[in-house]
């Protein structure tokens, strides 16, 4: 199971607002059926590495389809193969350790 964080920034749109473009990318992600969490600075996606990368590719294309002339995408991937881990597990692990201290 891979957990990825993606941030897609359209450039050359004539506006400093990007929420319309983010909404377009998230609509594409929703079609995939993958679990995700939208955050103020990006989106976290979990699923097989193949599925995650495929949907990120589609998400990257959506600003171009909406008229952006340039798109800057950053991706961070945590691909753990020794056991199944979900995004909530990572947060719970840290919270558990905070309670111990």
Confidence class of residue 36 from pLDDT cuts 50, 70 and 90? very high
Confidence class of residue 24 from pLDDT cuts 50, 70 and 90? very high
pLDDT at 85: 83
For residue 7, give its domain range.
Answer: 2-100
Instruction: Kindly give, in sequence order, each residue whose CB lies less than 8 Å from that of residue 39, ignoring residues fewer than 6 positions away.
Output: none
Confidence class of residue 83 from pLDDT cuts 50, 70 and 90? confident
Which CATH number belongs to the domain containing residue 32 in this structure? 3.30.70.930
Confidence class of residue 89 from pLDDT cuts 50, 70 and 90? confident
**Which helix (H) or strand (E) segment is 23 a member of?**
helix 19-32
Confidence class of residue 87 from pLDDT cuts 50, 70 and 90? confident
Is residue 9 within 8 A of residue 59, CB to CB? The reply is no
Decide if pLDDT at 101 tops 80: no
| Residue 10 token pair | 């359209």
The closest of 10, 17, 6, 18 to 47, measured between CA atoms, is 6
Rg (CA), the chain: 15
pLDDT at 50: 97
Counting the structural domains of the chain, the total is: 1
């Amino acid at each position: 199971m891979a957990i990825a964080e993606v941030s897609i920034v359209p450039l050359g749109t004539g506006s400093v607002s990007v929420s319309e473009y983010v909404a377009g990318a998230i609509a594409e992600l929703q079609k995939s059926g993958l679990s995700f969490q939208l955050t103020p600075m990006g989106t976290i996606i979990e699923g097989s590495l193949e599925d995650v990368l495929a949907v990120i590719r589609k998400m990257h294309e959506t600003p171009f389809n909406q008229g952006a002339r340039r798109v800057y995408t950053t991706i961070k991937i945590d691909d753990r193969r020794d056991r199944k881990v979900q995004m909530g597990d990572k947060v719970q692990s840290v919270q558990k350790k905070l309670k111990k201290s």
